[in-house]
Amino acid sequence: MSKPVLVVGAGPVGLIMAAELARYRVPVRLVDKAPGRTDQSRALAVWARTLELLEVAGCADAFVATGLHAKAVGIHSDGKVLARVTFATITSPFNYLLMIPQSETERLLEAHLRDLGGTVERGIELTDFVDKGDGVSCTLTHAGGKSETMEAAWLIGCDGAHSFVRRRLGLAFEGDTLPTGFIIADVHVAGLAIKPDELAIFWHPEGAVVFFPISPDRYRIIADIGSAPLHAPTLQEVQAIVDRRGPGGITLSNPVWLSDFGVNERTVRNYRAGRVFLAGDAAHIHSPAGGQGMNMGMQDAFNLAWKLALVERHEASPTLLDSYSIERSAVARQILSDSGRMTRIVLLRSRLARLLRGFIVRGIFSIPMIRRAAANRLSGVRIEYPDSPLNTGSARGLRGPRPGQRFTTACTMSTSNLPRFTLVARDDEQARAMIARHSSLLKPELCQPAGNGIWLVRPDGYVMARAHDGNWPVIETALAGMAAHTSLSGRT
């Protein structure tokens, strides 16, 4: 039997990583040093692209049924609505923002992992590892003090912002810490005259206060506190901030969670060192503005899992794994820059800057196209891999997604327990012959194209190759590129 993959850290990223590997029948162990799941609500927002990927993984229904479907976000200032962006224009079957506490996300992911035959081994800490070239020798320290040596095929560090794996590899976590702190409160809110399924941002000369709905009368409140020392606030402090910066008439009660946080914007350059990978907060952290952190981390896991599965199943060359860091680090850089810009806009203090901000925001968000673009960008459906080394063909003049872009239809989003590409092509002899020739890589069923072309769609729903109808060599080249060297290199 082949050595298992070791996933370290059972936060949302490690859980979905282990579940995806288990779905693809790759032996996997998932360990976490903590004795139990987090009971903190932390990340609330699950965006459309993540839900699409959870759908393919086979567990989106439970999320959709559990979370609150937020329909819009409004920016308010001086008693007026400066901008209102609705999520209905998101080009996805999940055209809303799912609000679900991270503790619930982790509970649902753990149940999904269990359904796939996996489990979380808690109270086990990774305390050392050595990459031996043909595997990784890992030292695991159990809660009682027992030490275990585990030989893993690959090690994936999903061990959060203070990642031991990243530090042991000596990888620099490059970036900055913002000079502003924030307070966070999950509380019962009465008197907020905003629809219960809308996010509301209130700008005030002193700072911002943001309301995120969690359930009909419960909200997450976040407010910036400038350079004041970080401290968990009392309910009275949060109430005072809301009274000053909010619309008035609001009463807070029943706090479930009162906390504080600082904002770091940091990332590693390379998410891979030999047989060791980083994913999630271990590889990138940034401002929570835009609610992207957990989404980005879970999408790292989806990106890596199918590639690792193909390599472990000897169905693709290990060089396929090089695309993981190239693709995902580019996305992280983009999101770090977006969320950093959003945070700095919220933190503007001078009167002139605030006046200009109000003027510009009101102006640009009065344009429907800008509102649509903003909603789609936040939702993750615009994420693409234009510079992926996997992209093949381009077929100028052809309508439909290009290589590196997302291709989602009910057909391409169907769940498979094998890491398989989808062929989108007219049902003819050549298409059938292609599937027969590459049965270890392609799903047996074809998807019908809307236009006059052929698409090869990756297991994570991004186009790998596109060609004009009949130009089969493009698809052949892309598939041959997957398998290149497998017979020679085997497991390297």
Ligand X SMILES: Cc1cc2nc3c(=O)[nH]c(=O)nc-3n(C[C@H](O)[C@H](O)[C@H](O)COP(=O)(O)OP(=O)(O)OC[C@H]3O[C@@H](n4cnc5c(N)ncnc54)[C@H](O)[C@@H]3O)c2cc1C
- Name which of 180 and 295 has its Cβ closer to ligand X: 295
What is each CA distance from 315 to 170, 418, 440, 462, 478, in whole angstroms?
A: 32, 11, 7, 19, 14
- Name which of 45 and 60 has its Cβ closer to ligand X: 45
Q: What angle do CA 256, 260, 264 make, to 5 degrees?
A: 135
CB of 168 vs ligand X, minimal distance in Å: 9
Distance CA 312, CA 442 (A): 17
State residue 203 phi and psi, 5-degree precision.
-95, 140
Residues near 231 by Cβ (< 8 Å), separated by ≥ 6?
Answer: 260
Distance CA 81, CA 195 (A): 13
Distance CA 157, CA 163 (A): 7
- Of positions 86, 259, 270, 334, contacts ligand X by CB under 6 A: 259
Q: Which stretch binds ligand X (CB under 6 A): 36-44, 74-82, 92-100, 447-455?
A: 36-44
Answer yes or no whether residue 460 interacts with ligand X by CB under 6 A: no
Distance CA 293, CA 172 (A): 19
State residue 211 phi and psi, 5-degree precision.
-110, 120
Distance CA 8, CA 13 (A): 10
Residues near 410 by Cβ (< 8 Å), separated by ≥ 6?
Answer: none
CA-wise closest residue to 480 among 328, 320, 338: 320
Q: Which stretch binds ligand X (CB under 6 A): 92-100, 285-293, 342-350, 455-463?
A: 285-293
Answer yes or no whether residue 446 interacts with ligand X by CB under 6 A: no
- Of positions 86, 125, 377, 483, contacts ligand X by CB under 6 A: 125
Which positions from 382 to 421 touch ligand X by CB under 6 A, shown as an x/- string? ----------------------------------------
Answer yes or no whether residue 291 interacts with ligand X by CB under 6 A: yes
Q: What crossing angle do the helices spanning 472-483 and 429-437 adopt, rounded to 10°?
A: 10
Answer yes or no whether residue 160 interacts with ligand X by CB under 6 A: yes
Distance CA 132, CA 443 (A): 35
- Name which of 148 and 387 has its Cβ closer to ligand X: 148
Q: Which two tokens stand for residue 322?
A: 């090089």
- Of positions 207, 297, 358, 401, contacts ligand X by CB under 6 A: 297
Instruction: Determine the 3-state secondary structure of 354 from DSSP.
Output: helix
Answer yes or no whether residue 280 interacts with ligand X by CB under 6 A: yes
- Name which of 45 and 390 has its Cβ closer to ligand X: 45
- Name which of 31 and 467 has its Cβ closer to ligand X: 31
Answer yes or no whether residue 184 interacts with ligand X by CB under 6 A: yes
What is each CA distance from 374 to 18, 279, 302, in whole angstroms?
A: 32, 26, 24
- Name which of 24 and 164 has its Cβ closer to ligand X: 164
- Of positions 295, 299, 303, 412, contacts ligand X by CB under 6 A: 295
Q: Which stretch binds ligand X (CB under 6 A): 58-66, 75-83, 291-299, 440-448?
A: 291-299
Distance CA 40, CA 102 (A): 7
- Tokens 């987090």 correspond to what residue? 38
- Of positions 28, 45, 59, 336, contacts ligand X by CB under 6 A: 45
Answer yes or no whether residue 164 interacts with ligand X by CB under 6 A: yes
Distance CA 413, CA 410 (A): 5
- Of positions 84, 175, 261, 374, contacts ligand X by CB under 6 A: 261
Answer yes or no whether residue 113 interacts with ligand X by CB under 6 A: no
CB of 13 vs ligand X, minimal distance in Å: 3
CB of 81 vs ligand X, minimal distance in Å: 23
Answer yes or no whether residue 303 interacts with ligand X by CB under 6 A: no
At CB < 8 A and 24+ separation, what contacts does 475-480 make? Answer: 475/393, 475/423, 475/434, 476/434, 477/392, 477/393, 478/390, 478/392, 478/393, 479/421, 479/434, 479/438, 479/441, 479/442
- Name which of 285 and 310 has its Cβ closer to ligand X: 285
- Of positions 7, 21, 30, 33, contacts ligand X by CB under 6 A: 33
Answer yes or no whether residue 329 interacts with ligand X by CB under 6 A: no
Which positions from 10 to 29 touch ligand X by CB under 6 A, shown as an x/- string? xxxxx---------------
- Name which of 8 and 383 has its Cβ closer to ligand X: 8
Q: How many residues bind ligand X (CB under 6 A)?
A: 34
- Name which of 119 and 430 has its Cβ closer to ligand X: 119
Sign of CA dihedral 389, 390, 395, 397: negative
Interface with ligand X (CB under 6 A): 8-14, 31-34, 42-45, 102, 125-126, 158-160, 164, 184, 259, 261, 280-281, 288, 291-295, 297
